[in-house]
Amino acid sequence: MAGPLAGIRVLDLSRVMAGPWCTQLLADLGAEVVKIERREGGDDTRHWGPPWLKDTDDNDTNEAAYYLSANRGKHSLTLDIATDEGRRIVRDLAAKSDIFIENFKVGDLAEKGLGYDDLCAVNPGIIYCSITGFGQTGPRASQAGYDYLIQGMGGLMSITGVADGEPGAGPQRVGLAVSDLTTGMYSAIGILAALNHREKTGEGQYIDLALLDTQVGWLANQAQNYFTSGVCPGRTGAWHPNVAPYQPFKTKDGYVIIAIGNDGQFRRFCVHIGVEELADDARFQSNSARVQNRAALAEIMEGYISERDSREWMEELPKIAVPCGPINSIDQVFEEPQVAARGMKSEVPHPLAGSMSIVGNPLKFSITDIEYLKAPPTLGEDSDDVLGRILGKSPEEIEKLRKSEII
């Protein structure tokens, strides 16, 4: 059965990560996504290598891994939107689309006659989503925003890294472009909500997404810690500010994470290591007490944990319902039996490589399951198909556009 968004068409004028991540999610769900790219070079991330995808002869292609991570399931149409004809094609496609996504600077597309009001005039039901660094309003609206900058401005780096006074102290960037990725996810949520609204009313609408807004919204419990206590959270390294013991511990041959979330789990752990009296110690009887005496507790626990191998702890503690797991490298992640069982690595056919590995979508549907039918497209791979099938242009008209360097 087709995916849950089958029959929905998305016109995608976004590039890099936040917008493409959103449209890849929509493509995974069955939407038809037409990705409009510059004739020369296409999406910026096509060039963000190495590493590059290998072809069937094990030679590097021009397909960068970064681009491949966020563009599966889409149809690539090259188009020069600086030309009148290029812009006309965008409007014609918008008239036949449900969703329009872009991440140009504020006002850029409106100046080209491709703003929300312009497209709403040809398609009143269109859902138009703009993704920018700082949003459409405010003193920084005109400025470009990048994930690293947003991680700093949005407070994430202030709570990520080793605590002051400890070796290696200082703010750290999170190892993924989390501001981009979460903005892409919020965009998809907003679009789905707008689709529901349109289903009830027939009205499309405009959605304004900002990386900074998303990062601030994503501060979650840490922002609430600040609002509640008046104390600004800081970096705590590997341990949790509100729960203890909830951190990595050194074992005989490496590290494990032990994540004890309640008093019952803590008592079972203490019984397991033969020191139930530790659970009755006034310093550790409740989570609140354990948080206040975290360092003392961690020192005691590590004395026991370091006597045995990681594998022993990971096998034994889950048996008594005490969460325990490894700190995996990315190659180890995909060797995890649980990850394999959940289908989080898949293969998709690719015109240059024969096939390529992809990270699976975590959504699992009972009826409209996700299928991976199309690899991230090569630049302009689908230009003829999109123009012919959707807009009804003849081969001669398409060839004329190509000779005129419109596509």
Assign residue 68 the CATH number of its domain.
3.40.50.10540
In the chain, how many domains are there?
A: 2
Residues 246-305 have pLDDT tens digits of 999 999 999 999 999 999 999 999 999 999 999 999 999 999 999 999 999 999 999 999
CA distances from 256 to 35, 73, 272, 295 (A): 43, 37, 16, 17
Assess whether 180 carries a catalytic annotation.
yes
3-state secondary structure at position 33? strand
CB atoms within 10 A of CB 390: 18
Considering the domain boundaries, does residue 223 fall inside one? no
Considering the domain boundaries, does residue 30 fall inside one? yes
Q: Are residues 265 and 319 in the same domain?
A: yes
Considering the domain boundaries, does residue 227 fall inside one? no
Last residue of a domain, one of 332, 360, 378: 332
pLDDT of residue 90: 98
CA distances from 43 to 38, 92, 100, 401 (A): 7, 22, 17, 21
* Angle, vertex CA 263, rays to CA 261 and CA 264, nearest 5: 95
Residues 12-40 have pLDDT tens digits of 999 999 999 999 999 999 999 999 999 99
DSSP code for 44: G
Q: Are residues 271 and 124 in the same domain?
A: no
pLDDT of residue 1: 64
pLDDT of residue 2: 84
Considering the domain boundaries, does residue 173 fall inside one? yes
Whether pLDDT at 48 is above 90: yes
List residues bridging with 198 in a β-sheet. Answer: none
CA distances from 326 to 117, 213, 343, 345 (A): 52, 33, 20, 19
> What does the buried/exposed string (b/e) look like for 311-348 if buried means 16 or more CB atoms within 10 Å of the residue's CB?
eebbeebeeeebebbbeeeeeeeeeeeeeeeeebeeeb
The parent domain of residue 65 ranges over 9-218+340-403
Considering the domain boundaries, does residue 66 fall inside one? yes
Q: Are residues 178 and 310 in the same domain?
A: no
pLDDT of residue 322: 96
Q: Are residues 63 and 116 in the same domain?
A: yes
Last residue of a domain, one of 271, 299, 332: 332
State the average pLDDT over residues 95-122.
97
Q: Are residues 202 and 65 in the same domain?
A: yes
Considering the domain boundaries, does residue 234 fall inside one? no
Last residue of a domain, one of 275, 307, 332: 332
Q: Are residues 36 and 139 in the same domain?
A: yes
Considering the domain boundaries, does residue 122 fall inside one? yes
Q: Are residues 50 and 198 in the same domain?
A: yes
Strands 205-210 and 246-250: unpaired
* CATH code, domain carrying 278: 3.30.1540.10
Q: Are residues 125 and 70 in the same domain?
A: yes
Q: Are residues 31 and 155 in the same domain?
A: yes
Q: Are residues 116 and 69 in the same domain?
A: yes
Q: Which of 108, 210, 106, 102 is nearest to 149 (CA)?
A: 210
Catalytic residue among 180, 253, 369, 385: 180
Q: Are residues 54 and 202 in the same domain?
A: yes
pLDDT of residue 327: 95
CA distance 310 to 314: 6
Cβ pair 222, 233 in contact under 8 A: yes
Q: Are residues 296 and 370 in the same domain?
A: no
Considering the domain boundaries, does residue 241 fall inside one? no
pLDDT of residue 75: 98
CA distance 390 to 215: 37
